[in-house]
Amino acid sequence: MLIISVRPELDIIKVKINNLWKCKVGPATVFVGFQIVRDRLKHTLRIHQEAYTTRLLNKLRISNYNLRALPITTSTILKSTKYNLDRY
C-alpha cells in the first residue's frame, strides 16, 4: 500500500516494487487484515474487519447467536470533552 502525493514519484516506486515482487496493481482492498472500501463520489473511506469477525464467530461456533443493536449509531463521532484532539 502506497500513499504519496506526487504522481511521477509514485509510478517510479511502483515499477521498482513490481520488479522485486509479484504485486497486484490497483486500489487496495485489504491491508494487514483490514478491509478497505473507498467511495470516491461520496469522498468516504470505510475500514472494517467484517471477514475477520465472521471467521472468528464461525471458529467459536457462535455465528448464529442473537444479534443486538449497538446503543449508539455506527456513524456517531465521539469527541473528547477534556482534550482538544483536533490539533492532532
Q: Report the chain's terminal Cα–Cα distance, integer Å.
A: 23
Better-scored residue on pLDDT, 47 or 72: 47
pLDDT in tens, 8-60: 888 888 888 888 887 777 788 988 889 999 998 988 889 999 999 999 999 99
Structural domain includes residue 73: no
**pLDDT at position 59:** 94
Domain assignment present for 45: yes
Residue 79 resides in a domain = no
In a domain, 69, yes or no: no
Q: What domain range includes position 30?
A: 24-64
Q: Centre a 10 Å sphere on the Cβ of residue 10 and count the other Cβ atoms it contains.
A: 13
User: What span, in angstroms and rounded, lies between the C-alpha atoms of 18 and 79?
Assistant: 42
Which residue do the cell numbers 487484515 mark? 33
pLDDT at 1 over 70: no
